[in-house]
Amino acid sequence: MAAPLSRAEKARRTRQRMLDAAARLFAERGWAGTTVEDIARTAEVGVQTVYFTFGNKRALLKELLDTAVAGDTDPIATLDRPWAREVLGTPDPARQLALQAAGARRILERAAPVLEAVRGAAAADPEIAALWRANHEQRHTVQLEFARALAAKAGGALRDGHDAASAADIAMTVLGPETYGLLVTGRGWTAARWERWAADALVRQLLP
């Protein structure tokens, strides 16, 4: 017979159920079309439970975005995660770009619908616009660190005179949720095909 769940575990599962419900509803209906009442109903909890747990819908969206991007609730920065350390640590530039594409694929398979909800809501909500800008800046910070490592591995000579800053811009474009959404969500590419294309595009754009 299974041991009864602790209070903390029950709370964790309830929190996750609300996050899962919000993720599904935001993907289906968008930010404006989803209410706290909808989330509570889908998660089979009271409305006050949602407010007590998250405070408001914006805070719920922020936590949902953070956990979707990270894949867990551990407070570990992206550049300190094993996949990012592998990107930085591999000595081969082409292998680094392949690992970047693979890492982006794993994140976007989880987070693309949430990122789209944030992007769509940013135009009408200043607080969510700030959240979208913060996410953009975080992605740029990661890609710039990767680009600096890439330039060093390539002997400081990237294609067409690109430096780390412009290489980061290219990586953000190729690996961004907008490009992923266009090809995977919009055009029906598989995530695996997108990953292969992204790795190839980065090599062609950045390596001598």
pLDDT digits (tens, 9 = 90+) for 188-205: 999 999 999 999 999 999
Residue 101: is its pLDDT beyond 80? yes
**Per-residue confidence (pLDDT) for residue 142, from 0 to 100:** 97
Using the predicted structure, report yes or no on whether residue 2 has a pLDDT greater than 70.
Answer: no
**Cα–Cα distance measured from residue 134 to residue 184, given in angstroms and rounded to the nearest whole number:** 24
Mean pLDDT of the region 26-39? 92
Torsions phi, psi for 77 (to 5 deg) = -65, 150
pLDDT tens figures, 80-93: 999 999 999 999 99
Tell me the whole-structure pTM to 2 decimals: 0.89
**CA 87 to CA 17: how far, in whole Å?**
33
By residue count, the chain amounts to 208
pLDDT value at residue 7: 83
Is there a common fold for 1-55 and 76-206?
no
How many angstroms separate the CA atoms of 125 and 133, rounded? 12
Q: How far are the Cα atoms of 145, 153, 178, 206 from residue 148, in angstroms, in the given order?
A: 5, 9, 24, 12
Q: Residue 6: how many CA atoms within 13 Å on its side-chain side?
A: 3
Q: Report the chain's mean pLDDT, rounded to a whole number.
A: 94
Alpha helices in the chain (DSSP H): 7-29, 36-43, 47-54, 57-70, 82-89, 93-122, 126-153, 164-175, 177-180, 191-206
pLDDT tier for residue 156 given thresholds of 50, 70 and 90: confident
Instruction: Decide which of 100 and 10 is more confident.
Output: 100
> pLDDT grade, residue 177 (50/70/90)?
very high
* Residues 185/114, Cβ–Cβ less than 8 Å: no
Provide the pLDDT for residue 207. Answer: 97
> Does the 76-206 domain belong in CATH 2.30.30?
no
Residue 1 pLDDT exceeds 70: no
- Amino acid 73: pLDDT: 81
Specify the pLDDT at position 24.
94
What percent of the chain has pLDDT above 90? 85
Among 17, 188, 184, which residue's Cα sits nearest to residue 105? 184
Instruction: Give the closest residue to 114 by CA, choosing from 72, 64, 43, 176.
Output: 64
**76 Rama sector, left if φ>0, alpha if ψ -120 to 50, beta otherwise:** beta
Percent of the chain with pLDDT over 70: 99
Residue 57 has pLDDT above 80, yes or no: yes
Please give the full DSSP string across 160-171, using - where no structure is assigned: GG--HHHHHHHH
What is the mean pLDDT of the segment spanning 130-156?
Answer: 95
The residue ranges of every structural domain in the chain are 1-55, 76-206
CATH class assigned to 1-55: mainly alpha
**30 vs 28: CA distance, rounded Å:** 6
